[in-house]
Amino acid sequence: MYNSNLPGPVSAPHSADDAAQWNLGPVIAALRVSREDKHKIRHQGRVRELPSREALITIVNGLSAALFPTHYGRPNLTDESIDYFVGDTLNTTLNRLSEQVRRGLLFSDESEADEAQLATRARDITRAFAASLPDIRALLVSDVQAAYAGDPAATSIAEIMLCYPGTIAILYHRLAHQLQALGSPFLARLIADIAHTLTGIDIHPGAQIGASFFIDHGTGVVIGETAIIGQRVRLYQAVTLGAKRFPADASGVLIKGTPRHPIVEDDVVIYAGATVLGRITIGAGSTVGGNVWLTHSVPPGSNVSQAHSRSD
């Protein structure tokens, strides 16, 4: 039986001969040539500070705690202490965010600005982001309420906020979307990827999503960059709102930013495994059944199944 209290194997101390036994000299030299010449991929050819994924996780946790102090912060907060907790958490978190925004700007169209200009721009973005937090919280409350109303298995708001991956995914998305809108797309994309890692739900920060949005179960949901989703929309697991084709210019290079994902109007339900592709419109109040492959628009009030599409 393995005894965890026993000491593990002791590594031999590194010696000057360690590198020599692997013949690392030529490898290191070849990697330098690849890095600096043959296969250079640095943004505008320069070494720059990358945003920190670990810092962003800490930042999102701090923002979540400020938005919902007793759910994501400290459960023992009182009426006397809660505002102090929110203020201190926000001050610390926003200072961290400003630095990450500055690093993200190094990979944007503003990357040629000097350090002072980048720092000022980062503070402006962070200040505007802070001002938007009450509106973001209002949207998130509507999302949580939609989940509670839409899932008969839900027993409390607290359960939804702590146990539902769709709630976590949309929280991250609301924050990421606002950062993208304010001019920090690199950070927004990193936050979206962290949410994807945590939940299995992939929402591009550029997607526009209305209030009272509910993703039930959630694993495998994909929502593309230019998707537009109305209010009171419900998606189930493995739904894709994707692109049907990718337009290219005369030289074959993909054209970025063109509208290529679906528009989902208010009060639409899309069931598990449905794939909705292209710049099509799902009319208000429609239902798209499970495993449907849909590449054309449907009018309001439609019921779409694998076999047929009809309007009520």
Spatial separation of the C-alpha atoms in residues 297 and 262, rounded to whole Å:
9
pLDDT tens-place string over residues 87-103 = 999 999 999 999 999 99
Residue among 213, 312, 310, 224 at smallest CA distance from 270: 213
pLDDT value of residue 135: 98
Q: Which amino acid is at 1?
A: M
Query: At 301, which helix (H) or strand (E)?
Result: none
Surface-to-core class of residue 205, CB atoms within 10 Å of its CB (0-12 exposed, 13-18 middle, 19+ buried): buried
Query: At 302, which helix (H) or strand (E)?
Result: strand 302-304
- pLDDT bin (cut points 50, 70, 90) of residue 1 is very low
pLDDT exceeds cutoff 80 at 46 = no
Question: DSSP 3-state helix, strand, coil percentages of the chain (rounded to 5)?
Answer: 45, 10, 45
Longest Cα pair distance anywhere in the chain, in angstroms?
79
pLDDT tens-place string over residues 211-253 = 999 999 999 999 999 999 999 999 999 999 999 988 788 888 8
Task: Name the token pair of 272.
Answer: 């598990």
First and final C-alpha spacing in the chain: 67
- pLDDT bin (cut points 50, 70, 90) of residue 17 is low
- Count of residues in the chain: 312
Q: Which residue has the higher pLDDT, 303 or 257?
A: 303
pLDDT value of residue 48: 74
* Ramachandran assignment for 267, one of left (phi > 0), alpha (psi -120 to 50 degrees), beta (any other): left
Q: Which amino acid is at 203?
A: I
Spatial separation of the C-alpha atoms in residues 241 and 230, rounded to whole Å:
13
pLDDT tens-place string over residues 177-217 = 999 999 999 999 999 999 999 999 999 999 999 999 999 99
- DSSP per-residue letters across 233-289: -EE-TT-EEE-S---B-TTSPBPPS---S-EE-TT-EE-TT-EEESS-EE-TT-EE-
What residues contact 285, with CB distance under 8 A and at least 6 apart?
265, 266, 267, 268, 300, 301
Bridge partners (DSSP) of residue 75 are none
What residues contact 34, with CB distance under 8 A and at least 6 apart?
none
Domains of the chain: 49-201 (1.10.3130.10), 220-312 (2.160.10.10)
Mean pLDDT of 73-79: 94
Rounded to the nearest integer, the mean pLDDT of the chain is 91
